[in-house]
Amino acid sequence: MFLHWIDPVDAGHVRESSGVVLYGLRRFVSGAQSIAGVRLISLVGSIVTTKPNPKDIDVLVVVADNADLSALAVHARRSQGNAQSLNRGADVFLANEPGDYIGRTCRWRDCRPGVRQACDARHCGRRSHLHDDLDTLSLSRGIVASPPVTLWLSSRGELRSISKKSLRLLSTPLQPTSCAGGAS
Closest C-alpha to 82, from 30, 170, 22 = 22
Share of the chain above pLDDT 90, in %: 30
Structural domain includes residue 182 = no
**pLDDT value of position 172:** 47
Residue 16 — very low, low, confident or very high, per pLDDT cuts 50/70/90?
low
Q: State the pLDDT at residue 55.
A: 84
Q: Per-residue pLDDT tens for 39-80?
A: 999 999 888 888 877 788 899 999 999 999 999 999 998 988
Answer yes or no: is 32 within a domain: yes
Range of the domain at 64: 2-171
Q: How many domains does the chain have?
A: 1
pLDDT of residue 61: 96
The answer to whether residue 143 sits within a structural domain is: yes
- In a domain, residue 100? The reply is yes
Q: Is the pLDDT of residue 86 over 70?
A: yes
Q: Is residue 20 part of a domain?
A: yes
Residue 154 has phi, psi (to 5 degrees) of -115, 140
Give the residue, 18 or 38, on which the prediction is more confident: 38
Is residue 101 in some structural domain? yes
Using CA atoms, how far residue 3 sits from 7, 13, 127, 160, in Å, is 6, 13, 35, 21
Of residues 162 and 36, the one with the higher pLDDT is 36
Contact 58, 43 (CB under 8 A): yes
Band of residue 95 on the pLDDT scale cut at 50, 70, 90:
very high
pLDDT of residue 71: 93
Q: How big, in percent rounded to 5, are the helix, strand and coil portions of the chain?
A: 30, 20, 50
pTM for the complete prediction?
0.72
Query: For the segment 125-174, what is each residue's pLDDT rounded down to a tens digit?
Result: 676 777 677 778 888 889 999 999 999 998 654 444 444 445 455 444 43
